[in-house]
Chains A and B, each alone.
Chain A
Amino acid sequence: MFDVTVSDRRPPTAIGSLLILVLSLAFGMVVIGLIFFLCGANPIFAFKRIFIGSFGSFYGFKETVTKAIPLILIASGLALAFRAKFWNIGAEGQLLMGAVFGTWVGLNWGPMLPSWLMIPLMFLAGFVGGAIWGVIPAILKLRFAINEVIATLMLNYICSEFLTLLIIGPWKSPKKYGFPYTDNLPDSAVLYLLPGSRIHVTTLIVALSAALILTFVIYQTRFGYEVRVIGDNPDAAKYAGINFTRTTVLIMLISGGMAGLAGVGEVAGIHHYLSYPGSISSGYGFTAIIVAWLAKLNPLYAVFSGLFFAGILVGGDAIQISLGLPAATVNIVNGILLICLIMGDFFTKNNLRFRATERI
Chain B
Amino acid sequence: MEEVILSILQRTLVAGTPLLIATVGEIICERSGVLNLGVEGMMAVGAVTAFIVAHHTGNPWLGLCVAIAAGMLLAWLHAFASVSLQSNQVVSGLALTMLGLGLAGFLGKPYVGRPLAVNMNPLPIPLLCELPVLGALLFNQSPFFYIALILAIAAWFVLEHTLPGIRIRSAGENPRATEAQGVNVSRIRYLAVVVGGGFAGLAGAHLSLVYSRSWIEGMTAGRGWIVIALTIFALWNPLRAIVGAFLFGGIFVLQYILQPLGIAPNFLAMLPYLVTLLVLLLVGLRDRRRLNAPAMLAEPYRREDR
Contacts and interface: CB of A to CB of B under 8 A. Distances in A.
B121 interface: no
B222 A342 contact: no
Q: Which bucket holds chain B's interface residue count?
A: 35 or more
A169 B95 contact: no
A150 B280 contact: yes
- The majority secondary structure among interface residues of chain B is helix
Contacts of B87: 342-343, 345-346
Nearest to A332: B102
B106 A328 contact: yes
Contacts of A349: 86
Interface in B96-152: 96-106, 109
- The majority secondary structure among interface residues of chain A is helix
Contacts of B284: 140, 143-146
A149 B228 contact: yes
B109 A326 contact: yes
B102 A144 contact: no
A330 interface: yes
B179 to A, nearest CB: 14
Contact of B281 (A146, A339, A342): A146
A153 B229 CA distance: 11
B258 interface: no
Contacts of A293: 91
B102 A339 contact: no
Contacts of A209: none
Nearest to A337: B95
Contact of A342 (B95, B101, B225): B95
Interface stretch (A122-130, A155-163, A257-265): A155-163
B77 A339 contact: yes
B81 A339 contact: yes
A89 interface: yes
A334 B98 contact: yes
B62 interface: no
14 contacts: A5-B306, A140-B284, A144-B280, A145-B288, A146-B284, A147-B232, A150-B229, A157-B270, A157-B273, A286-B98, A335-B99, A335-B103, A339-B81, A342-B91
Interface of B: 37, 41, 77, 81, 85-88, 90-92, 94-106, 109, 217, 222, 225, 228-229, 232, 264, 266-267, 269-270, 273-274, 276-277, 280-281, 284-285, 288, 291, 302, 305-306
Interface of A: 5-7, 87, 89, 140, 143-147, 149-151, 153-155, 157-158, 161-162, 164-165, 168-169, 286, 289-290, 293, 325-336, 338-339, 342-343, 345-346, 349
